[in-house]
Structure 1
């Protein structure tokens, strides 16, 4: 019964947690290489899906007018090494190495030829090695703060790019085609923090709301289906479920994160 009650939540969270900056400089510095790929099942995504995500970013940019978009990958399995990871844009007539930032983020340029060729962005790691997600960031925020409108825009980008893995039921595909799952329903979005999270607080002016324990470690979902999702197992302690469709919190609401390695210091201060 619990799984049945969670189906509406699954419709959105299965598509949850990306960052893709637009513009002609997105692929600057790319290097043409000879294609050598020894993996039969690389962790990869379709180039056209990334471009669709960029289109959704433009369509819903009002949610975060100053923000930029990058796509990002994070290791989701203990034995997956971030060091040495290479992303390659593979088309019908060759391949190009994509510059990967220290935070494992990257961008792509729009290219109609690559789009028609159904090119892929492939890693040199096996399938399901990474969580792929869009990361939208408004500049100028403190490192421990995220903006609610940015997360709402991330959700919209993922509606277009369909990057995140999950238990995607037929109802999800039907709802995604017929409505805006990010805002039209009482649903949420996975926030991936930089480190294990102790607590998260919504802040808008004098209004503050500390999120309950049910918002952390994938808890809105039944544990028996955790393995379908990108946060499992390595990113669970960095995952926070944010109720982005709650219109009582405006787009400029901030999410204040307190990390596990900071919690003892905060307790001592009190």
Structure 2
């Protein structure tokens, strides 16, 4: 069984699925507007928590200097392709609404807004929280689909932790700080322990892996894979930020190459909702 402290930090830091405050704002009555508040129990996040993630991205940008900005991605609850109505996202409060533009991969950026901060606004989607999840997306441009950069993963962890800390009670943050003996939760994930424990950070994608290897110069390490994730020792500073994880994707029913979260191309058929390609 996984130790209690590992369970807590993974539950509180590794996921962006925690709900925000209840309620959703009415969008302006404009042609083509989707009224997000018509969706019962929509997926949403507190803007102030997102702002904490933006602050951390800026402060720790040296980990991934070629990543131009923090982005977010909407995906199925288990990382699968989106189905049904295409997501629409807004930053909204009682008296205003800022529409967000999603690209063909369902990725988007969130602008800084003092008005949104002051109003305790929320990021709101027109999809129920049990249908989709919003993940941070930090990836150096130009990487092959089968490679992940260590610095990108480290920065993504720190952004996730910053958002998670802003969304959970102060006592819970203190509890995890005490259990890990550090306020830098990501540094705790240093790899296998002498007693056989697993202190590796889980990195997920939207396709299943069959193998993953961490490489840094002449040094290499086979990583544990499970379904759509591999586990990596991001807290082990002996691995540089430029170290790369090379993955092999598991065979699929078709002969087509499965899409990683680096590419995840979406297709749009006339008259149909755009979806992630298989």
- Fold shared, TM-score > 0.5 on shorter chain: yes
Larger relative contact order, structure 1 or 2 (CA cutoff 8 Å, min sep 6) = 1
- Select between 35-44 and 245-254 the one with higher mean Cα deviation: 35-44
Equivalent position SS for 2:38: coil
TM-score under structure 2 length normalisation: 0.71
Q: Map Cα deviations across residues 5-55 of structure 1 (whole Å, 9 max, x no partner).
A: 42222233122147xxxxxxxxxxxx9757452223111111111111010
- Aligned equivalent of 1:72: 73
Q: Map Cα deviations across residues 195-248 of structure 1 (whole Å, 9 max, x no partner).
A: 211111101112121213xx42xxxxxxxxxxxxxxxxxxxx322222211222
- Select between 34-43 and 55-64 the one with higher mean Cα deviation: 34-43
Q: CA deviation at 1:256?
A: 0.6
- Aligned equivalent of 2:10: 13
* Distance in 2, Cα, partners of 1:205 & 1:242: 17
- Kindly indicate whether residue 183 of structure 2 is the aligned counterpart of residue 182 of structure 1: no
Q: CA deviation at 1:109?
A: 0.7
- Aligned equivalent of 2:22: none
TM-score under structure 1 length normalisation: 0.73
1:1-270 alignment, distance < 5 Å: 2=1, 5-14=2-11, 15-17=13-15, 33=33, 35-68=35-68, 69-76=70-77, 81=83, 83-162=85-164, 173-176=174-177, 179-184=183-188, 186=190, 187-212=199-224, 215-216=225-226, 237-261=227-251
Number of paired residues? Answer: 227
- Contact 1:34/1:95 (<8 A) preserved: no
Equivalent position SS for 1:89: strand
5+ residue gaps, structure 2, are: 17-28, 191-198, 256-278
* Distance in 1, Cα, partners of 2:149 & 2:47: 28
Which runs of at least 4 in structure 1 moved beyond 6 Å after TM superposition? 163-166
Question: RMSD in angstroms over aligned alpha carbons?
Answer: 3.3
- Contact 2:189/2:234 (<8 A) preserved: no
* Distance in 1, Cα, partners of 2:117 & 2:200: 31
* Distance in 2, Cα, partners of 1:94 & 1:59: 29
5+ residue gaps, structure 1, are: 19-30, 217-236, 266-270
- Select between 123-132 and 97-106 the one with higher mean Cα deviation: 123-132
* Distance in 1, Cα, partners of 2:166 & 2:249: 24
* Distance in 2, Cα, partners of 1:183 & 1:82: 39
